[in-house]
Amino acid sequence: MSAIGSTDAADAADAADAADAAGGAGGLVRVSPVIRPIGTSPGLTRSAPGGNFPGNDWPPASVVPTSAGWQPALFQQFPLGAWGGYYLSVAALGEFVQASAADPVTGANFTWSDIDIGGPVGAADRNAELAELFDLIDYRPRVMAEAIAQRSGIEVYWRGIFNFNQASHPWTSDLVQIALHVGEFQAMHYKYQFGRVRPSQISPLLMPPIEVPGHASYPSGHATESWLLSGLLAEVMPAQAGVPLALLAERVARNREVMGLHYPSDSAAGKLLAAASKLLLMECDMVKTLIAKAGDEWALDRSV
């Protein structure tokens, strides 16, 4: 998922139901890949010697749905584990926007819409950042394939390092979807609030080699999603995962700078936004439940 741009088109949600069915991210086209036709199959025995097999419809004619023989559903409430990861992440937004948390420095309570991430730097600092982005152009050929792959579906890099997927770690995968969706939501809110123009709009000489997303620059959505993803996974993974989690978030954000799509201060703001958003998520009952369940997935000893 990573939903970071209009032509960064397959954002983290873009592999959606296919991914929910096969184990992965959410998607914009919510069409189930499962097709389940029901026809009329033949009975096990002929109705009479030399006769035809009777048709076997569903539900069976011998069972009346309201009779005692037609048992009610196994669950009286839709099971949490049966939710598709993308849809669960949408539901999580309902809790997230109602949550409040204490600022670790000031102690003051804050909510999703009043997080202090500063603001875009002034002209002098911006020009210094542009000069840095020009220096980064030389690295584009060496990072191009990676940066293009990270336009969407950034979670595959986390899965690659830590070797998990929807089948092996379903609760962890749900946390991933929540991190990506909430990160996108937060980034877009603050992008709209600050309205910072992209580096290439200030200096067309940067000429990004991929399409510039159709939304403002500050804060970086990739940085927000990456740091929020690593932050939530750090709550459930072994302690030694902390360093690679941080390095991976930093790398994904930096690649966007190399492409000329973001200023370094965009990435820094995304990291701040992710840290505050994580505090709010940690106050959500759904996230607390998933963290407990996902923690068990990583604590389980599968050695033989």
132 domain residue, yes or no: yes
Tell whether pTM > 0.85: no
What is the number of helices (H) and of strands (E) in the chain?
11, 4
Split into its structural domains, the chain has a count of 1
What pLDDT does 67 receive?
56
216 domain residue, yes or no: yes
145 domain residue, yes or no: yes
What tens-digit pLDDT sequence spans the chain (304 residues)?
444 443 443 333 334 434 444 444 444 444 567 887 877 788 788 888 878 888 887 777 666 666 555 666 677 788 999 999 999 999 999 999 999 999 999 999 999 999 999 999 999 999 999 999 999 999 999 999 999 999 999 999 999 999 999 999 999 999 999 999 999 999 999 999 999 999 999 999 999 999 999 999 999 999 999 999 999 999 999 999 999 999 999 999 999 999 999 999 999 999 999 999 999 999 999 999 999 999 999 997 655 4
32 domain residue, yes or no: no
CATH code for the domain in which residue 113 is found:
1.20.144.10
Cα-based distances in Å from 232 to 55, 218, 236: 54, 22, 7
What pLDDT does 75 receive?
74
CA R_g for the chain = 24
157 domain residue, yes or no: yes
283 domain residue, yes or no: yes
What pLDDT does 56 receive?
81
The domain containing residue 138 runs over which residues?
87-299
76 domain residue, yes or no: no
What pLDDT does 150 receive?
96
Phi/psi for 42 (5° steps) reads: -75, 150
63 domain residue, yes or no: no
